[in-house]
Amino acid sequence: MKMKNISYCLFAGLLLGACSGGVYEKTENGVIVKVQQKGDTGARLVRLQVMGEKLIHVSATPDKKFADPQSLIIVPRAEQTPFTVAQQGDTVTVSTDEVRASVLASTGEVWFTDEDGNLILQENKGGGKTFTPIEVEGTRGYTVRQVFESPDDEAFYGLGQHQADEFNYKGKNEELFQYNTKVSVPFIVSNKNYGVLLDSYSLCRFGNPNDYSQLGEVFKLYDKDGKEGAITGTYVPAEGSGAETLVRREDSLYFEHLVRGDLGHVVNLPKDFPFYGSKVTYEGSIEPSESGEFKFILYYAGYTKVYINNELVVPERWRTAWNPNSYKFSVDLEAEKRVPLKVEWIPDGGVSYSGLRVHRPVDPEEQGKQSWWSEMTRQLDYYFIAGDDMDEVISGYRTLTGKSPIMPKWAMGYWQSREKYNTQAEMLGALKGFRDRRIPIDNIVLDWNHWPENAWGSHEFDKARFPDPQAMVDSIHAMHGRMMISVWPKFYTTTEHFKEFDENGWMYQQSVKDSLKDWVGPGYTYGFYDAYSADARKLFWKQMYEHYYPLGIDAWWMDASEPNVRDCTDLQYRKDLCGPTALGPSAEFFNAYALMNADAIYNGQRGVDNNKRVFLLTRSGFAGLQRYSTATWSGDIATRWEDMKAQISAGLNFAVSGIPYWTMDIGGFCVENRYVAGQKQWNETKTENADYKEWRELNTRWFQFGAFCPLYRAHGQYPLREPWEIAPEGHPAYKSIVYYTKLRYNMMPYIYSLAGMTWFKDYTLMRPLVMDFTADTDVNNISDQFMFGPAFMVSPVYEYGARSREVYFPQAEGWYDFYTGKFQKGGEKVEVKAPYERVPLYVRAGSIVPYGEDIQYTDEKPADHIILYVYQGADGEFTLYEDEGVNYNYEQGKYAMIPMEYDEEEKTLTIGKREGSFPGMLEKRTFTVVKVNPDKAQPFNLNAKGVEVDYTGEEVSVKLN
């Protein structure tokens, strides 16, 4: 953006001097505007605060003064950005050199423009703000809504990680709360190159501010015989159960949570019916009173299909009973036209869940607006973030919420996990299995239940199964591995750790009062600690430090950090179970627990060893999580093809939410029984039945996808997830998994350079195509392809038996097939080959990619020989980043960067002068420069012939004619 002209600045200054009386008050970093026409639910005061050249904080309140609670997500900044204030009529404008924010004093409406006056974002006419008083547990606040205008060609991304496989949120609805597999971040990025960050920690909604309605509240219901008032529910018990088929009328399909006070039963389901092995059908008709698009949400555990108007609108989906999922779909219906509805449900076990609710049609223009709703907050606070591209918007987000530290280099390697290694010997045997087979690995994970059965939260090892934890950790290190251990915010009431929290009032009490028992052994009573208390966070770390840290454990796995005090309860009971917090009612502080919990570990470890890099993996997250060197994984997803596909859009939206490190359970966590049976048959007979054949292909495709995620990690329930447990050596599945694991390590110079960019340039590793090709509108809704850094386009295969898939090549100077070097033009859709052992992988023309030699772990040997591939056809640049990999010396400037540029016209690669240094840095190395161009396909090969360059840190140029 260009600088404002001097005359405008002078004019603004004159207006400020002449017209400020009564309309606004200037503050040290902005203005407070008094709204002239407040109305019953509008704002009385609107405040603009300049947070940076392209960062504006907007606050609004219906009260006479701002409450100004301390933000949990914004990092305080001492730096002041110059700004001017001008008033013209009843419009007050705050301007920096890059953006202007204006308030219409008559209504409180705010809008944002660039320095030339081009509109970027505008609140709804009249301000789009609605405040409704709310009081919870004696604390007063407001339920708030904020609506912005949105042009038809706008697209929205972010909001965290959700599981309905939605990508572009334009015109869509998303509820923002935390749950296993669902991570909510109240931040969106627009393809118009701006972002909005809502500073609220309560339940929020993007899109429709209303909860979904029961079917009977929106439709006339008819049973299968045509009688009005209900849907027919037919419950067929398992053969041999002795029970009879039950038929009853259902006035809603809402069987979504356990009954409070009777957690053995699901709300609204028949109590005495034996659901294990049963089949349930809900059928009849629905008749709307209005025409339009009806947006449904399906809640399911077990196998589910949905038919509307005799069409299969939801093909079979499955989730395990203890962790249901939601799926959204839309159907156009006509007023007063009755259409058939049928839901087929096979419950998962004796306690299972099903539900179908709906939103009424909303005017398309209204539905397409950017709408935020927050259940409880003290005032409205949001941040407008402008940028020249989406990367700059995310950089602005991290300026506000904290930079993302560089993860330890070993975290970029492979992670092997399972639920669970039951003994010390199992864990060490698994790591040894990798070393014996020469499969690269850096990290191995010890899941829950390594403690004595009755001592959850004690941080003690069960001596019968883990007789010598110190020797175990030492052995892992001796095999050049790193160890991560599972730590929960959960404590059995009999443990000394629970008592330490409880005596200080730092333990949530509802689960104790209700005598909730978990699923372990006979069931034990427990509580979760209050992470919103600063002193409780210090104690949480102290207990970890005393028990785990002296062993030399390298990384921390923060499970159930939503917090998930009890699965499958209603939303109000979930709030009761995790509150009140030290800061206020859980209704107000419902979503930020994982952020507070990460604070405990990150600042705890840096407090005792400030130069050892922290690594946390957590099942939840919130805005600002990245500042605590924390990654999120997508939770206990299912071993299903549709779940695999959903992780692509989930991971991409999470990345756009500003948190760069994300991973998933490769292969899925919760396993269908048919796969378990297939594994057992294989174990007994070494025959591969149809289900087990599919299991192997599912895992193969998932590993192919996972190798190009920010973190590469396998985890799940039985069957076991080590590569040789999935398939024997020589099997295509085994060969493919090993191939991509080795390739990940060959790419380590590239990957670790991207990790460096996340700190120095606020970079995003896993990138939706829209980030790099914003001008190409064909990419706005592509949710199943992504860029891994600037060079690689990955197109995962997520359909069983597929040996090809359609790939869109964005408009660029061209693309190269990674494996063959064959050139492909941009701007085209092509059906490309996808053999069993390979995922479609393409490299953008103009890319410079450093590859390393084969290694077994990230720091096995110095990268003294780098194979540097130059993909010709466009100018390109890349910076090779290096440091010590395990400490924070880079914060003090101890690192090295080698800039590289390729000039297409001159056909010249320039490897620039090294910038910086660090202890242990290689003073010289060899680059083998390999060119790839459209005229001669060059397959990927670490032994390919190229130009040898002896590099000593000085600039050198290479002709690539």
Q: What is the CATH number of the domain that holds 38?
A: 2.60.40.1760
Residue 224 domain flag: yes
Q: Is pLDDT of 38 > 60?
A: yes
pLDDT band at 78 (very low <50, low <70, confident <90, very high): confident
Q: What is the CATH number of the domain that holds 883?
A: 2.60.40.1180
Q: What mean pLDDT comes out for the span 530-544?
A: 99
Domain boundary among 332, 361, 390: 361
Q: Is pLDDT of 4 > 60?
A: no
Q: Is pLDDT of 42 > 50?
A: yes
pLDDT band at 21 (very low <50, low <70, confident <90, very high): low
* 585, β-bridge pairs: none
Q: What mean pLDDT comes out for the span 692-698?
A: 99
315-358 tens-digit pLDDT? 999 999 999 999 999 999 999 999 999 999 999 999 999 999 99
Burial group, residue 147, by CB count within 10 angstroms (0-12, 13-18, 19+)? buried
Is 337 found in the same domain as 389? no
**Model-wide pTM > 0.85:** yes
Residue 469 domain flag: yes
Q: What mean pLDDT comes out for the span 543-564?
A: 98
Is 539 found in the same domain as 640? yes
**pLDDT > 90 fraction of the chain, expressed in percent and rounded:** 96
- pLDDT score at 16: 38
Give me the amino acid identity at 429: G
Is 420 found in the same domain as 353? no
Strands of 848-852's sheet, edge to edge? 848-852, 865-871, 925-932, 947-951
Residue 354 domain flag: yes
Is 241 found in the same domain as 352? yes
For the chain, give the mean pLDDT: 97
Q: What is the CATH number of the domain that holds 230?
A: 2.60.120.380
Residue 569 domain flag: yes
- pLDDT score at 936: 86
Is 157 found in the same domain as 301? no
Residue 806 domain flag: yes
pLDDT band at 215 (very low <50, low <70, confident <90, very high): very high
Is 282 found in the same domain as 199? no
The catalytically annotated residue of 381, 562, 762, 884 is 562
Q: Is pLDDT of 6 > 70?
A: no
- pLDDT score at 520: 97
The catalytically annotated residue of 447, 554, 636, 643 is 636
- pLDDT score at 252: 98
830-840 tens-digit pLDDT? 999 999 999 99
Residue 591 domain flag: yes
Is 311 found in the same domain as 293? yes
Is 324 found in the same domain as 385? no
Let me know: does 709 contact 766? Beta carbons within 8 Å.
yes
The Cα–Cα gap between 694 and 844 comes to: 33
> Which tokens sit at 867?
């194979």
Q: What mean pLDDT comes out for the span 663-679?
A: 98
Is 217 found in the same domain as 205? no
Is 419 found in the same domain as 555? yes
To the query of whether residue 636 is one of the catalytic residues in this protein, the response is yes
Residue 763 domain flag: no
Let me know: does 42 contact 129? Beta carbons within 8 Å.
yes
893: containing domain: 770-959
Q: Residue 12: CA atoms inside 13 Å, Cβ hemisphere, count? A: 19
Domain boundary among 757, 792, 822: 757
* Residue 17: partners with Cβ closer than 8 Å, 6 or more residues away: none
- pLDDT score at 456: 99
**pLDDT > 70 fraction of the chain, expressed in percent and rounded:** 98
The catalytically annotated residue of 174, 559, 722, 776 is 559
Domain boundary among 757, 782, 797: 757
Number of domains within the chain? 4
Q: What is the 3-state secondary structure (H, E, C) of 320-380?
A: CCCCCEEEEEEEEECCCCCEEEEEEEECCCCCCCEEEEEECCCCHHHHCCEEEEEEEECCE
Is 167 found in the same domain as 55? yes
Residue 762 domain flag: no
Is 75 found in the same domain as 164? yes
